[in-house]
Every structure is written in structure tokens, then in C-alpha cells.
Structure 1
Amino acid sequence: MTTKKNLNSEIEKVLLTYKKPSIYFKKLKSNNTLKNEFPEVNNLIGVKQSPIHHPEGDVFNHTMMVLDEAAMLKNRAKNPLGLMYSALCHDFGKTLTTTTKEDGKIISYNHERAGLKLVRRFLNRTTKKEEKNLRNYVLNMTELHMQPNQLANQNSKLKSTRKLFNKSICPEDLVLLAKADALGRATKQDYSPREVYLRKALEDFKSIEK
């Protein structure tokens, strides 16, 4: 049985040093040990998503792709470990909220909030007791992860982005997580318009903070 100390050390190494952290979790999956070490991650397997928005398949596949995208962005993060944990945890709530409507549409409304109790349980087991700030960061990022891209898609006014960034523990990293989430799927898309929008919104927010 892996101890909490060893589990914490191992997951930190994977999240901070692997170019593709997905390799580690996929190996555990193939060895049938993922469900013992990380049941919250294992439960993502088989959870359906919209084939239009997520042709890569289930939530596990999406999460692994987001994790690898985040790994390419972590050097730009103010909290690299926190960003990687957030990428891993951001869709835990889909295991609780995903349903298929009569017309066949797959939905997971409010998964970002519903998943917080699962994220908290996961973090309590995989992080050190004294890492309260890390746990708060990941919970905050998980709850807000949908909003940057939603605001960008709607070309919302700066009042909306200011409100969002004011709720965020780390607005800069929230923008990075939003990018990883958008790119961590099999659809080909140009993310640059949303990134430009969010960068300008971030500059605006920083200017009013001074």
C-alpha cells in the first residue's frame, strides 16, 4: 500500500517533471492499479462527453490531453504544481453530473462546482498537511475553470472579466488553465482569438489593481 508521503512525492514528480504526465496515469490504467492509487481519476474512465466538442472520447481521455497541454504551459505559471493539479482535477465533477437527455445530448451542468468535494478529498490524500494554500488554489481554479473561455466566446465586457479575475486566487494561471482545457481535445481550433481577448482582459485587471 502506497503511503501518503510516498504518494505525495510521486505525484509531484510526475506533474512537475514529466513532459507528458498522461503517460504515468495511462500506465497505471493499463496495469489496473489506477483505481487503487487515484480512484477519482479512474472514475473519469467511461464518462461520456459530447462527440461534437470532445471527439477524443471520455473525460479520462480529455483530462489526459489537458494535463499534457498544461505541462507545456507550466513554466509560465506562478504556481506550476498548482496548475498541474488543477488540470488533473478540473473535471472530476463530471462523474457526478453527466447525463444524456432524451434527444441524445450529453450534458454536465455545474460540474465545476459539484466536483469540489471530490477535489478536496483527492487533495487531502495526495498533498501535505501544511500545503493549505495549494489546496485552496486548486479548489478555486477548479470552480472557475469554465468561465474564461465562456467570457471570451461571448466577447464579454471588461466588467465581467474584472469580476472573474477578482474571484480568482491567480488570474494569470486561470488563463493558462483555460487554454489547456480548450486545447486538450481532438478538435482542431485556433485558440489565438480567445487568448488575445483574455490577455487584454488580464492587462486591464492588473491596471486597475495598481
Structure 2
Amino acid sequence: MRIYKVGGAVRDRLLGRPVSDIDWVVVGASAEQMQALGFRPVGEDFPVFLHPDSGEEYALARTERKSGRGYGGFTFHASPEVTLEEDLIRRDLTINAMAEDQQGHLTDPYGGQRDLEARLLRHVAPAFAEDPLRVLRVARFAARYAPLGFSVAPETLALMRQLSESGELQALTPERSWKEISRALLEPRPDVFIQVLRECGALHTLLPEVQALFGVPQPPAHHPEIDTGRHVLSVLRQCAEHQQPLQVRWACLLHDVGKGLTAPADWPRHIGHEQRGVPLIRAINQRCKAPKDCQELALLVGQYHTHGHRALELKPSTLLELLHNIDAYRRPQRFEDFIAACEMDAHGRDGLEHCAYPQADYLRGALQAARGVSVQPLLAQGLQGPQLGEALAQARLVALKSYKMREV
């Protein structure tokens, strides 16, 4: 029995990055031997065991064979006869197909160390094209390592394009796709993830509403970058630079999808794109099975982001309605996320990355003014039910009118 550290732990150590999770592969052992040593089996599709002391996962060396569509269409074979090289060749990228024994000796049969030095994401073997999930994984790795100068090797991008054109991506379950998309959006360069998907043709299958934004012009006076797709990429990059949470990044990715429905005759203006985008965002949320907080914020940002940009110009009644629709009184953090998404949108424009955004503090002040209205005097008047709600709204409107007079 020989035990090796494999995959990301080896890769990140060689890159000088922190190592968090460690994967282990066991060569020359059977499932019965592992259990005799106290390892607990947990794998359903193939033999994976938990270490009796550390709880870390140890997998038996295995081979795989394509047996159906999708990422799950594989038959696995594990036995003491499977070699380390046979186990490593089934992995996606050369930089993930290295192993290290307990003495620290490196096994690198497919040139992973060479590709680390060349800053290339290269597939290990032609079998790469058998698993559609790898398209998203490679794009995610590109988003993670772009700050280090990594790019996807041309031959790997060609295989990813082949996978995209084969229809295999449609066999991915929403849950697996979302897992990769959500992790990629939280990487240092989520814009690179979207760009790589676009380059290999996968964006058209996974997020056609976002794909449709590339080539759609916007007024240069407001958007010096002009192209709507480029703008969305810039907004995502701002999200990463400001370390925004997932729900803000998801909302920013989808905020302008309504512009993809603007008739070319109306370009570069996009009047009403906010409302046009709402059904698209709802459909994307359902298709991707995004978490509830991501879904809700994406819909609110899509519908009201221009309200955020025009906050200082809004009538007090419109401001009151905005606070109500966002449910800002009961969910102040969601209101903060809405403001953050609007600010990232404003910064995601060429030459305006560091522009002031006074709308943020103005909106916070408006919420504070409206929340400052006490309900007790209204209750003392005996108001209740719809009458109480209407009186409270009127009192908040008065407070917002005073606030606007002070601040603008």
C-alpha cells in the first residue's frame, strides 16, 4: 500500500499558495484492507474512505470509462492493480495530475510542473472531452489563477469548444452547474470565467441571456466602454476588487440582461430595459436553481438599479416606494447589498472605476430618515390594520420630504 497527496494540495504548494483541503489517493490496496485499518467507507460511486483519526478523505486509485451522457456517465474501476499513473491520467488538468509521496517526492507523469511554470491550463488526455463539467471547472481555474498570469492552452480551449458544441453541457444538472458557477463568481477574476465560457461557446448554452449582451452598444456618454457585455465583465471585476459576496456578484452578472432585448433600431438607448429584464432574470434564477437570497437580490437590482443611480433625483414618493419594494426596513442587509450592486455597476465603466458614488450614502440616509418615524403616536390614535399602514407610509413620506430638502 502506498499513499500519495494529489491534486490541488500539490499544485498550490508548488505555486506557494496556502493549502487548505488535502486529497489522498491509495495505490495497491483493496476496500477490505482499508476497512481493516479503521478507514470508514463513504463513497457511493467509487471507494472513498475517511481516515480514522484526521477524518480526511482517502480514495483508492481508480480508472474510469465513459458509459453515458453528462458528468455522471462514467463507470469506475478500483483495484490494487491500478497504478498511480493510471489514476492521474483521468484527471482534468496537468497541474492537477501531480502526486507527492510521504517523503515529499513528486510524481509528475504529464508535465504539470512544466505547465505551472508556463502558466498554462492544459488537459491531461483526450478523455477530458468526455466530461462536460470540466468546461466549467477549467473556466473557474482560469478565474482563480488569472492574477498569476495563467491562461487556457489553445488545444484545451478547442476541446472545450468541442464539448460545448456536442450538446453534452445540456446534460449537466442545475445543481452541479450552480456549484461551479457560484464558486467561479467568488474567484479573484470572475470576469475571466465568463470570458472563457464565451470563447469556448459554453456561455451560449449556460447563460444565453448574458451571451446576448456582447455586441450590444450603450450610449458612450454614460458608458465609455460602449459594449454591454464588456460592461458586465467590468462590473464583475469591480465586485471582486471590492470583495462583494456571492449574491451581489450574481445580481451584477444579470442586472443588464434586459438590454439584450432592445431592438437594434433603438440602439444605443435602452429605455425600459429594467422591466424587460425581470422575466429573463426570473427564468435564469429558476434554470440555475440559484439560492433564494441570490434570486431575490438579482430581481431587485435588475428592476431598480437605475433608481439607485438616480437616487438624488427621485421624488420622495418614489424613494418611499423603493424602500418598501426592497423591504429595507426589515431587511437592511439586503438594502446594503442592493446599494453595493448599484455602486459596482457605476464603477464598472471605462475610466470611472474610482468615481464617487454619493447615491450610496444618500440612500442610507433615506432609510434612516424613514425608519426614524415612530409608530407609537399612530397606535395611540387607535389606528390599526390598513389604516395604520397608510398613516405610517404618509408619516414616512413627510420624513423623506424633509430629508430631501436638507440633503439635495
Answer yes or no: same fold by TM over 0.5: yes
The match for 1:46 is 215
Name the aligned partner's letter for residue 184 of structure 1. G
Instruction: Give the one of 239, 246, 249 matched to 1:81.
Output: 246
Deviation at 1:100, TM superposition (A): 4.3
Moved more, 19-28 or 29-38: 29-38
Moved more, 139-148 or 188-197: 188-197
Deviation at 1:23, TM superposition (A): 0.8
Alignment of 1:13-162 (within 5 A): 13-15=183-185, 17-75=186-244, 80-101=245-266, 106-127=268-289, 131-152=291-312, 154=313, 156=314, 158-162=316-320
The structure whose Rg is larger is 2
Cα deviation 1:41-98 (Å, max 9, x = unaligned): 11111111112211213111011111222234454xxxx3221111011000001125
Deviation at 1:198, TM superposition (A): 2.7
Distance 1:83 1:29, change over 3 A: same
What SS does structure 2 have at the residue aligned with 1:36?
helix
Cα deviation 1:117-167 (Å, max 9, x = unaligned): 111121112125xx4454233212211111011122x2x465543331121
Q: Are positions 1:185 and 2:345 aligned together?
A: no
Instruction: Give the one of 166, 174, 178 matched to 2:324.
Output: 166
Q: Percent identity?
A: 28
Structure with the larger helix share: 1
Name the aligned partner's letter for residue 41 of structure 1. V
CA RMSD across the alignment: 2.4
Structure with the larger strand share: 2
Higher relative contact order (CA closer than 8 Å, sequence separation 6+): 1
Return the alpha-carbon distance in structure 1 between the equivalents of residues 223 and 276 of structure 2: 20
The answer to whether the Cα contact below 8 Å between 1:8 and 1:127 also exists between their aligned partners in 2 is yes
The answer to whether the Cα contact below 8 Å between 2:235 and 2:344 also exists between their aligned partners in 1 is yes
Q: TM-score, normalised by structure 1?
A: 0.82
Return the alpha-carbon distance in structure 2 between the equivalents of residues 55 and 209 of structure 1: 45
Return the alpha-carbon distance in structure 2 between the equivalents of residues 205 and 99 of structure 1: 42
Distance 1:116 1:193, change over 3 A: closer
Return the alpha-carbon distance in structure 1 between the equivalents of residues 335 and 263 of structure 2: 28
Distance 1:41 1:178, change over 3 A: same
